[in-house]
Chain A
Amino acid sequence: MKIPLARIAHARSGDKGDVSNIGVIAYKEQDYTILVREVTAERVKAHFNEFVKGKVERFELPNLWALNFVMHEALDGGGTISLRADAQGKTLGAALLRMEIEVPDTDALR
């Protein structure tokens, strides 16, 4: 069944110039494998299609049960140039947690 990513993970996002990164962290160690399987760079790029003009890279941090997404050309020029109210990408982590992921029914019920 499908659940929002927010059910199994938390996140934080920020900026470096026109790059925004999102750290996504599983609340429970056993759910890290679900993150790795479901939250791919391709899906994140599609999720943010409207904002992210460049590539999306994914890095794995199994020690923190976490993934780091680095999204290029994500902030309308970034820093002082951007015209977006959220020029630093502070809310993109929360936006990513809206993503629907597929989990086995037994997992979703716990």
Chain B
Amino acid sequence: MIRIANGQGFWGDWLEAPVRLVEQGPIDYLILDYLAEVTMSILQKQRKADPSLGYARDFPPLMARMARMLRDRNVKVLANAGGINPIACAREVRRLAPNLKIAIVLGDDVLDRIDEFLAQGQEMLNIDTGEPLSKIRDKITSANAYIGAFPLAQALATGADVVITGRCADAALALAPMIHRFDWKADDWNRLSAGIIAGHIVECGAQCTGGNCIADWQNIPDFANIGYPIVEAEHDGTFSITEHPGTGGRVNLETVKEQLLYEIGDPRQYITPDVIADFTSIRLAQAGPDRVRATGIAGAPRTDMLKVSISYAWGWKAAGTLIYSAPQALEKARVADRIVRERLEQLGLEFDAVYTEFFGVNALHGATAEPCPEPPEVQLRMGARGYDRKAVDRFTREMIPLVLTGPPTGTGYGEGRPSVREVIAYWPALVAREMIQTRVEVIE
């Protein structure tokens, strides 16, 4: 049995979690999942501003903080902290934690190969819309293939203390140690599927141990000291999900099921680089306090394609808020919205969209929210997006003037006018598997 713990569900997750996972009980592997699609766009902007950036900057100082305990407790780290610049990330870890042996997995970055792929008949149509890549070809800012767990397992086999990857399938971080330690083969479909499903359960950190859980959330024992998830994986592809004893989360059928269903499509065909996992095959059982056991998992052969996530410069957006108090709080906010729209129209500015929400009334749940005829206060939130930065910039100047030129009781503008942000959008596509070659580099 090996213990694989996930200490980070996204870049910005709780900084103490990885340290506590190593300090508070036995684990063999610490995985850290930093990359969401939104994160890739942030990293892209950072690399554009400074070519030595483009990775999860929290990671090198974390490794410096943990270097000694990782060595003392023989815990290996796998992290997709490399983002779109894994070499720079490894250099910084090397500088801050010189005693750790680092392996890097390379080959996911295909930005320089787009034209080569197109020339070889890889169309890279948008998976969601079917549009041709030519629509955005000159606006592409990054392109990364989702690589699977086998190159990561190869990196672990070098004996590295820390394995740094760029864009890999999130769940591959958990599967890789199983492949490495149990010597699973590339056509072990059922066991690979089990490893991916274990990875899917833990990839969002505490979201499977009671965090963001709707079921009986008031009775999660201690959110402030929530335990992050640990997979206890067996050679035969069965596993348990648990947290360290004495931590404050909850692991039961409800918390695990909610996470199993998080961000999936067809549950019979959860497509990953290594296997197609079948979520309808999972058998779950409560196997002790804060311990859920999974058995029976089946999988099907992997596809011939790999997903490529392409980012491109879409345009600009901004959003701002103002708050109105009772009486007639909602009516005031509605009038304010109409004033801004009329002024923008008078300026003749073009936007792709102007979007208005009324917080305290129906912003999150829309018409499904129960009517609230006289809310004590309403927050007006207006957003605008478009291809012309100047238009979006002008929009940001139209909110605060409402305080003196619109309905009474407008307040809450202390943050100043909203800032204009560049929108880096995503273009999911597929390429033939054989186009992607990965390699492992070791930094002693």
How far, in angstroms, from A19 to B262 measured CA to CA in the complex?
12
How near does chain B come to A25, taking the closest CB pair, in angstroms? Answer: 5
Q: In the complex the two chains form, is A10's CB within 8 Å of B128's CB?
A: no
Q: Choose among A57, A83, A91 the residue with the greatest number of B CB atoms under 10 Å from its CB.
A: A83
Interface string of B412-430 (1 = CB under 8 A from A): 0000000000011110100
Residues of B within 8 Å of A12, CB to CB, are 212-214, 258-259, 261-262
CB distance from B292 to the nearest CB of A (A): 12
- Asked whether A23 and B258 contact (CB < 8 A) given A48-B368, A98-B365, the answer is yes
Docked complex Cα distance between A98 and B319 (Å)? 28
Q: Mark A73-85, 1 if CB is under 8 A from B, else 0.
A: 0001101110111
> Closest A-chain residue to B427, C-beta based?
A17
Asked whether, in the complex, the Cβ of B128 is within 8 Å of the Cβ of A95, the reply is no
B368 touching A17, Cβ below 8 Å:
no
The yes or no answer to B279 lying at the interface (CB within 8 A) is: yes
Decide if B283 is an interface residue (CB 8 Å cutoff). Answer: yes
Contacts A12-B214, A80-B425, A83-B384 given; does A66 touch B261 at CB 8 Å: yes
Closest residue on chain A to residue B319 by CB atoms: A83
Most chain A beta-carbon neighbours within 10 Å: one of B257, B319, B370 = B257
- The answer to whether A23 touches B317, judged by C-beta atoms less than 8 angstroms apart, is no
Write out the residue numbers on chain A whose beta carbons fall within 8 Å of the beta carbon of B384. Answer: 83
Knowing A17-B426, A85-B363, A93-B214 touch, does A25 contact B261 (C-beta < 8 A)?
yes
Q: By the criterion CB–CB under 8 Å, are B254 and A25 in contact?
A: yes
Bound-state CA distance A48–B367 (Å) is: 8
B357 at the interface (CB under 8 A from A): yes
Q: Is the CB of A16 within 8 A of B265?
A: yes
* Nearest residue, chain A, Cβ from B382: A83
Interface string of B241-264 (1 = CB under 8 A from A): 000000000000010011111111
Binding site for B on A (CB under 8 A): 10-12, 14-19, 21, 23, 25, 27, 47-51, 57, 59-66, 68, 70, 76-77, 79-81, 83-86, 90-91, 93-99
Considering only CB atoms, which chain A residue lies closest to B367 in the complex? A50
Count chain B CB atoms within 10 A of each CB in A59, A64, A65 and give the residue with the most: A64
- In the complex, which residues of chain B have a beta carbon less than 8 angstroms from the beta carbon of A17? 37, 128, 426, 428
Contact of B260 among A64, A90, A97 (CB under 8 A): A64
* Residue ID in chain A nearest B261 by CB atoms: A23
Q: Is the Cβ of B426 less than 8 Å from the Cβ of A25?
A: no
B287 within 8 A of A: no
Report how far A11 CA is from B314 CA in the complex, Å. 33
Which residue of chain A has the shortest Cβ distance to B263 in the bound complex? A14
The complex places the Cα of A48 from the Cα of B369 at a distance, in Å, of 11
Contact B257 A25 (CB under 8 A): yes
Interface contact B266-A85, CB-CB below 8 Å: no
Cross-chain pairs A/B with CB under 8 angstroms, 30 sampled = A10-B254, A12-B212, A17-B37, A17-B426, A19-B128, A27-B215, A27-B254, A48-B366, A50-B366, A50-B367, A60-B280, A61-B280, A62-B280, A63-B281, A63-B283, A64-B282, A76-B353, A79-B426, A80-B425, A81-B423, A83-B353, A83-B384, A84-B355, A84-B357, A85-B319, A85-B364, A91-B364, A91-B365, A93-B214, A97-B214
Query: Is there an interface contact between A14 and B215, defined as CB atoms closer than 8 Å?
Result: no
Given contacts A23-B261, A85-B319, A97-B214, 11 further A-B contacts (CB under 8 A): A10-B215, A14-B262, A17-B428, A21-B263, A23-B258, A63-B283, A66-B261, A70-B265, A83-B319, A83-B354, A99-B368
Residues of B within 8 A of A83 (CB): 317, 319, 353-355, 383-385
Min distance, Cβ B37 to any Cβ of chain A, angstroms: 6
Chain B residue nearest to A94 in the complex (CB):
B214
